[in-house]
Structure 1
Amino acid sequence: MMSGRSTTFVSCFAFVTIILLVSIPFSQSQPSALIDQICKKTPYYDLCSSTLKSSTLSPNADLKEAAQVMVNDILAKASDTLNFIQGLVQSTKDPILQRKLGVCAEEYVPIVKYTLPQAAAAIMNKKDFKFASYSVSKALKDLSTSCDKNFGSAQSQLGDRNSNVEKLLQVGQAIIQQGIQMVLIL
């Protein structure tokens, strides 16, 4: 037979266990519901959803955190593309191709070194969605005169990479615009 203390301990343990089991699925579904809500308002739902779901959003994530994650992912993809371009420049012997790739690198350098880090800092430090929006719009504008056009009718070796970065920028812009709307409502 159990003593009063043992019974109380077992009851408390069972209660805590039940609370934990009930709350875990809720906390794990919260970011998923937030991601769905945010991504429905972007031009590329699947890209947005897969990007945010592959991140480490906290269980109590909010729009600011989602915007931060998206801008950081865009920065990573743009950096990867810049590194890819630099590798192509170094490996090719064709001076015309080197020049065309050099133009592409010149478009990515300020985006990677200044524009996107400033957008990320604006969101993280100040919740300044307007400045972040300006920065992401500038990056998108800079890439819309993209190096793909520099290659003329020939298919650029960078086509898929550039297209992906541009789509991510559009998604990031849409998320940041939601942040601006949220601030205006408050």
Structure 2
Amino acid sequence: MRNIISLLLLQAAFSSIFLPSAHGANTIIQPTCKKTPFYDLCVSVLQTDSRSATADVQGLAVVAADKLAGKSTATLKQITSLAKKDPRYKACLESYNIVVKYDMQEILQAVSGDPKFAEQGASDVATEADTCGKSIQSFKSVVADSNKFVHDFSLVVVAIVRLLL
């Protein structure tokens, strides 16, 4: 019995060292995400995109920016619909219009060019999401989770982009 347990432990150790993960063999996702404020969020989002499997840090920054843009746009659509019926979403609507029309455009262009502008844009997204979050904290909002994702993931983007500077 002891030999079987030893053999299973040895097999598990061997597999984790020498076999690629199910999401591709990219070994920089985890070390990169460890340098961000939200490790689990970073890993889970980056691993959902097939481009991450072969990306370098700049490639991960591009993937992260794309994911942030998608979630920001979806959140803006949700807020736009809610704001038509509820004036309490006015601050969120203003914030997300800025995020999608200006900040995300800056990030997407700069992440492959001059990363300092991508860093600033992602930091601005966090600020705008924070503004939205403060405006809806007094009532139970259906966009709270989406807004928190945008806020937290924008800080992940900031951290990844800083690695390029």
Matched residue SS, 1:179 = coil
- Alignment correspondent of 2:164: 179
Shift of 1:81: 0.4
| Alignment of 1:75 onto 2:69 | yes
Report runs of 4+ in structure 1 exceeding 6 Å deviation.
Answer: none
- Alignment correspondent of 1:18: none
- Alignment correspondent of 2:154: 169
Shift of 1:152: 4.9
- In 2 relative to 1, CA 25–82 (structure 1 residues): closer, same or farther, beyond 3 Å? same
In the alignment, structure 2 segments of 5+ residues that lack a partner are 1-18
Number of aligned residue pairs: 145
- Per-residue CA deviations over 1:70-106 (Å, capped at 9, x if unaligned) read 011001001000101112233x3xxxxx222122111
Whichever of the two has the greater Rg, that structure is 1
In the alignment, structure 1 segments of 5+ residues that lack a partner are 1-23, 93-97, 181-186
Give the alignment of 1:95-174 within 5 angstroms.
98-124=86-112, 126=113, 128-146=114-132, 148-174=133-159
| Contact preservation (8 Å) 2:29, 2:43 | yes
Q: Name the TM-score, length of structure 1 as normaliser.
A: 0.72
Q: CA RMSD in A?
A: 1.9
Which letter does structure 1 place at the counterpart of 2:49?
S
- Per-residue CA deviations over 1:25-84 (Å, capped at 9, x if unaligned) read 59x31x2x1101101111111110011100122654111110011011001001000101
